[in-house]
Structure 1
Amino acid sequence: MSREDFKALPLQKKIQTLYADGLFVVSIRYYGYKVNLYLLGDDYIEVFYNHKLDRIERIEYLNRSHTRMKFYLDQIQLDSI
């Protein structure tokens, strides 16, 4: 599935795709979110879960230039950075 195809999916389909075809990598706490990082094909995808509201609020491709990267890099070695 291409990035554009994945981005065009509704949230529920993105969730289903990640749980069926993705590989869970790590989870971090980021402000009010628990962010789960998945590997789907060659791409890393973040799932932002709001535990106070008990819902997934957004799913997006990992932005490797974001300051949030330091939280991941403290825990794991990401390939192809």
Structure 2
Amino acid sequence: MKTLLVLVLCSLAVVCLTDGLFVEKEQASTVVRQKRAAGELTLTQLESLSEVCEADLACDDMMDTDGIIAAYTAYYGPIPY
């Protein structure tokens, strides 16, 4: 009985590995979370980014010249939504 269970589990592992069910971490992250374009953000989301950026003087200055998306990304990383 134990031998049969081990054989079934091994065959299942082989099938999973050969069918491409496992992917690299970078590939999975691009599939799961696609980045949005700047035009897809709502007015509320842009206002939220602006409020965060206004708390930092350097980010606020950059926001005035380069825009909210560029400033937020430069100082705080990728946009969370």
What is the TM-score with the length of structure 2 in the denominator?
0.29
Please state which structure has a larger fraction of its residues in helix: 2
Q: Which has the higher Rg, Structure 1 or Structure 2?
A: 2
Please state which structure has a larger fraction of its residues in strand: 1
